Amino acid sequence: MHFEPLLIAELATLGLCSGFLAGLLGIGGGMIMVPFVIMILTYRGVAPELAIKIAIATSMATIVFTSISSVRAHHKRRAVRWDLVKKLAPGIVLGGALASMGVFAVLKGSSLAIFFAFFVGFSATQIFLDKKPPPGRQIPGTLGMLGAGSVIGFFSGLVGAGGAFISVPFMTWVNVSIYHAVATSAALGFPIALANATGYALSGLNIEHLPPYSLGYIWLPGLVVIASCSVVTAQLGAKATHSLPVKRLKRVFASILYLLAFYMFYKGLTTL
């Protein structure tokens, strides 16, 4: 695969768009990146099954950088619930390690794509319906938060996303405001991405037919270009979060996820 100017332009555009959406919606950009990286790789001759895994791993690795950029903007506005980050992070690391070094390596790319589609579609529906939690519902204790973090880290590791598709609905379900939930989800993106990216790199070390300059399942050229561009726009997206009404923010989030879920379901079926 040649790293020609058109490829750089495609990756840069993807980085700029996904970075803005990462900051805006707290989704870490993974939900946006995965389908488009698959398109880019398969167009250039990478087998679809392998392209799905590379896309998931590479998009997750970029979140290490985009999460830092977007969370800085959220933190300046005092929107991050650091108390929740501290309680969820240990479980996230545990769940992420189990997914990226174990289950991810065993599952076929087509199965991962279909799982991605169903889970994202379910999450989008919950957000789109905007169900209100009972006023008395409280944030779980230490054990409950450890379990919640493990679930977030595990499923994020399977689909290459920053975890907002679970963490934002979870936090709003326990009566955390949408603005705090989005900002806190951006902060959670860092431990999610770091734990899973390490696992993808280790579990893919002996895989054949990877693109040049790959570290395990992580495609380094894609990582460098996307991450470099996404950190520029992540802070712009984070600032925009605080100027949009709550319902519109949720509807934008859900609509984007529906479109990507449909594409990934189609991709999964055609690679079975």
> Both tokens of residue 161?
């996303």
- What pLDDT score was predicted for residue 81? 92
Separation between Cα atoms, residue 198 and residue 262, nearest integer Å: 29
- What pLDDT score was predicted for residue 58? 92
**The total number of structural domains that make up the chain:** 1
- What pLDDT score was predicted for residue 132? 57
Q: Which domain does 205 fall in, by range?
A: 5-270
Residues present in the chain in total? 272
Positions in the chain whose pLDDT score sits under 70: 1-3, 22-23, 25-30, 126-127, 130-137, 162-163, 165, 241-242, 244, 246-247, 272
- 7 CB neighbour count, 10 Å cutoff: 17
Separation between Cα atoms, residue 270 and residue 168, nearest integer Å: 31
- What pLDDT score was predicted for residue 74? 75
Separation between Cα atoms, residue 231 and residue 253, nearest integer Å: 20
Where is 215: in which H helix or E strand? strand 214-215
**pLDDT per residue as tens digits for the range 159-214:** 777 667 678 778 887 888 878 887 888 888 888 888 889 999 998 888 888 988 89
